[in-house]
Structure 1
Amino acid sequence: MTRTLGTQLRHLIELLDSAVERSYEHVDASYRPRYTPVMRVLMRENSSTISEIAIAAGISQPAVTQTVSRMMEADLVSVSPSETDARQRIVQLTKKGKRLAPKLEKCWEATALAARSLEADLQLPLGAVLEDAIKALEQRSYDERIAAARKSLGGP
C-alpha cells in the first residue's frame, strides 16, 4: 500500500521528534521539543510578550500560549503582566530555564549535525524541499489545491 503524503509527514515527524525528545532526556527529562521555538526567542530577547514570541518563532499565538503554560508547569518560564499594557503578558526564563539554556544549545548543535548527516544520505536536501513546499503552500494553499482537484474530478 502506498503511503499518503500526510501519513509520510506524520511518520517523519514521529521519527525525528522521538529521537530529539530522547536527546533532551540527557539534559532535563521535563523538556519537550515543542518548547524550542519559545526557548530560542527568550534566550535571544530575555523577555517577550506572547504575540512577540509568536511572530519571532513563526507559530500561532494560541500555540505559544499553550506552550508557555506547559513551560510554566516545568518551571522554565514565568509570566507577569506588562507594566505598560495590562492586556499583554511578559514571558521570561526562570532561573531553571536560564541554567538549561547552554545545555540546550549543545543539544541543538548535535541536532543540526544529525540533520546534516541525514541530508547527506538523501538525494535532495530535506530542509530545502520543506522550505520549497512551505513557500508553494503560502503562494497557493492546500485548501485551494484540494478544491481545484475536487472540481477537476467533477465534485462539489
Structure 2
Amino acid sequence: MKQGLGTQLRHLIELLDGAVLQAYMDAGLDYRPRYTPVIRVLAQQQSATIGQLAELAGITQPAATQTVALMKKEGLLLVVAGGEDGRQRVVRLSPQGELLLPRLQACWQATKRAADGLDAELAFPLSACLAQAIAVLEQRPFGERIREASKKLQSTT
C-alpha cells in the first residue's frame, strides 16, 4: 500500500530530526533541533520580539512562543518586557546560549554538508523540491486544494 503524503513527510522528519538530535548528543550537547531557527536569528541580531523571531525564523508565532518558553526554561534565552508599553516580549541569548554557539555552528556545518550530500544523491534535490512545494502552497494552500477536490468528488456522485 502506498503511504500518504503526510505519513511520508512525518517519516522523513523522523529520519532527519533523529539523526540531527543524535549528532547534538554525540557532540555532548543537550539541545533540540527545533531550537535552531531561534538561535540562528538571535546569533545574527542581538534581540528580537516573538513576532520578529517567528517571521525571521520562518515559523509560526505559536511555535515561536512555545520554543522560546522551552529555551528560556533550559537557560538558553533571556526574555524581558519591551516596547513602549512593556507588553512585547524581547528575546535574546543568555550567556549560556552564547557559550553554545561555537559548538552549535560546528554541528550546523556538518549537517549542511550532509544535507548537500543527500541532495546530490537524489534525482531532484530535496531542498529544491521542498522550497518549490512551500512556494506553491503559499500561493494556493493545501486546504483550498482539498476543498476543491471534495467539490469535484461531490459533483461526480
Q: Give the TM-score of the pair, scaled to structure 2.
A: 0.94
SS at match of 1:3: coil
The gaps in structure 2 that reach 5 residues or longer are none
- Kindly state the Cα deviation for residue 84 of structure 1 after the two structures are TM-superposed: 3.2
Q: Does 1:104 align with 2:104?
A: yes
Percentage of identical aligned residues:
51
Change (3 A) 1:75 1:28: farther
Match of 1:82 in 2: 82
Q: Deviations over 1:47-77 (max 9, x none)?
A: 1111111111111111111101100111100
Greater Cα shift, 117-126 or 81-90: 81-90
Counterpart-to-counterpart distance in 2, 1:23 and 1:73: 22
Q: Which amino acid aligns with 1:101?
A: L
> Quick one: which amino acid aligns to residue 151 of structure 1?
K
Cα deviation, residue 81, structure 1:
0.9
- Distance in 2 separating the partners of 1:56 and 1:21: 23
Render the CA deviation track for 1:29-61: whole Å, top value 9, x for unaligned. Answer: 421000001000110111111111111111111
Change beyond 3 A, Cα 1:148–1:23: same
Number of matched pairs = 156
Greater length-normalized contact order (CA 8 Å, ≥ 6 residues apart): 1
Output the aligned Cα RMSD: 1.5
2:61 is matched by which residue type in structure 1?
Q
Give the residue type in structure 2 aligned to 1:79.
V
Aligned to 1:92: 92
Residue equivalent to 2:132: 132
Corresponding residue number in structure 2 for 1:35: 35
Aligned partners of 1:103 and 1:78: how far apart in 2?
Answer: 20
Amino acid in structure 1 at the alignment position of 2:91: V
1:27/1:93 CA distance change after superposition, 3 Å: farther
Give the aligned partner of residue 23 of structure 1: 23
Distance in structure 2 (CA, Å) of the matches to 1:61 and 1:49: 10
CA drift of 1:89 comes to 1.1
Partner of 1:56: 56
Q: Distance in 2 between matches of 1:114 and 1:71?
A: 26
- 1:70-104: CA deviations, max 9, x gaps? 00111100111116331111111111100101111
AA matched with 1:41:
V
CA distance in 1, matches of 2:150, 2:82: 48
Name the CA distance, whole Å, in 1 between partners of 2:34 and 2:8.
Answer: 20
Q: How does 1:110-149 map to 2 (within 5 A)?
A: 110-149=110-149
Gaps of 5+ in 1: none
Distance (Å, rounded) in 2 between the aligned partners of 1:120 and 1:138: 26
